[in-house]
Amino acid sequence: MAPQIDGGCGYHIFPTFVSELEPKEIWKHFDSILNIPRGSGEEDAIREYVLWVAKNTATRMRDLTIDDVGNVIIRKSATLGYEDRTMVTLQSHKDMVNTIADEESLPKGFEPFPIRPIMEDGWLVSKYRTLGADNGVGVCIMLAIMESESVVHGPLEFLFTVDEETGLTGARKLQSGFLKGKYLLNLDSEEEGVITIGCAGGARAELRLPIERAVLPSSPYYKIFTLKISDCKGGHSGLDIHLGRANAIKVLAQILREFHYDQLRLIHFEGGSRLNVIPQSASATIAVPRMELQEFIDVFMIVKGQYKKVDPDMKLTIQETHDMDVLDVLTESSYTKTLSLLGVIPHGVLAMSKDVKDLVETSNNLATVRMNEGEMKIEVMYRSLKESALVATQDKINSLASIWKADVTTEKGYGCWQPDPNSYLLSVAKETYKNMFAKDPEIMAIHAGFESGVIKATYPSMETISIGPSMQNVHIPGERVHIASVAKFYSYLCELLKNIQ
């Protein structure tokens, strides 16, 4: 099919069946942005697409502003007769998580862009990479409302933020006075029929452990192998942390700790992809003298048994490396420190909420490990519904770093979003949903960061909720969005905009 206009973004747009899904006014935009790379920090093209829509096809646009970090704000005047309503802010983030399946799982000739999803049992699915429905569908819903003459509403402003996935940067750096709305509708939730009114706060830390290397002995004769743990389910490090899925970094370190220094030498270790993703894969390059590889497999099978219900597809691959001229390996002291530190850094649920049933209070994600000649760098992300627990978790990380003689750098993240069950916005949202669908929506707080909570910290008088259509497997290959839920959510959002006074 011939490409259409590039929408001002510099990328050719190739229409597919996605444009024919209903509501077409949403899916035509989603089909377009499937062609546009928009990973965190690489959002120029998607910004240009949003601006192109605002300037060329949107209606009743009043003004358009881009702030210093790249957030875009666009305002639209009210429908005739609704001019006296309070301004509402609609908000989505422009970036997405770019995660691709392990190379051995990819079909021949696979290209990461354009993203080419399939339909499967009512879902739009990207099998081998992330789909970008998080938060691309929210962006496209906002574009559809920008263009619409039929959606009835009061004054609106559309906030498209940057770099949500790697630290909520756009929301955190939003300046006071930039927004005019009193009510904020964040469109980044992932379950239709759920209204989120609170979330955990989060922060990150980076540990740098010095390592020493020694020349690999010439005798006995060593063979070089790469051990790789892969096909772990992974998932969102907040929303999925309670599921107890395997952390590939933890699994590999656990296997290696079963072997003494005289049984193997460690050359390299790395794993994980992003701070907010539970690691799906990790690899280690090792030098092995006189050792049966079956011993690794036996240990792996024991470890895999711990996760047989939650991560049944996890696998270990062992590949001999013939073209590697290895001279340096970790010394015995560095070998021990490296693997022991990876063992003691906490991962998973640290505490459950005592106030809300089945809600995680505090967690930590051992997210990434990278190794170079002189150090191993470890990144962790911790979350909590309580500020005091965030401080306590940071203290624990600092203590471990001190004991292991590692340098540690912390980055203050974002605070907790405390629920307001009595807000006017929530009452209208609940009433609208019940009137439309003859049932109450579910009201909840979640163990993940929301931009709405960060924005509310800068605009404390603003009332906010988070809503959205149904999605699954966000941040990992196999991400999918339920097609019918998008239509249902859009009809609900349009009615809600009409009802907000």
Long-range contacts (CB closer than 8 Å, 24 or more residues apart) made by 404-409: 404/209, 404/337, 404/340, 404/341, 405/209, 405/210, 405/337, 406/207, 406/208, 406/209, 406/210, 406/341, 407/207, 407/208, 408/205, 408/206, 408/207, 408/208, 409/205, 409/206, 409/208
Candidates 38, 44, 29, 13; CA nearest to 112 is 38
75 touches 100 (CB < 8 A) = no
Question: Would you call 298 a catalytic residue per the annotation?
Answer: no
Strand partners, 63: 75
- Write the CA distances from 64 to 48, 110, 223, integer angstroms: 13, 38, 62
> Which among 147, 164, 188, 479 is annotated as catalytic?
164
Alpha carbon 90 to its chain's center = 20
Q: What distance lies between CA 239 and its chain's CA centroid?
A: 10
The residue from 43, 95, 188, 191 that is catalytic is 95
CB distance 256 to 283 below 8 Å: no
Q: Is 157 a catalytic residue?
A: no
Single-letter amino acid code for the residue at 38? R
Encoding tokens for residue 172? 């955190």
By annotation, the residues acting in catalysis are: 95, 164
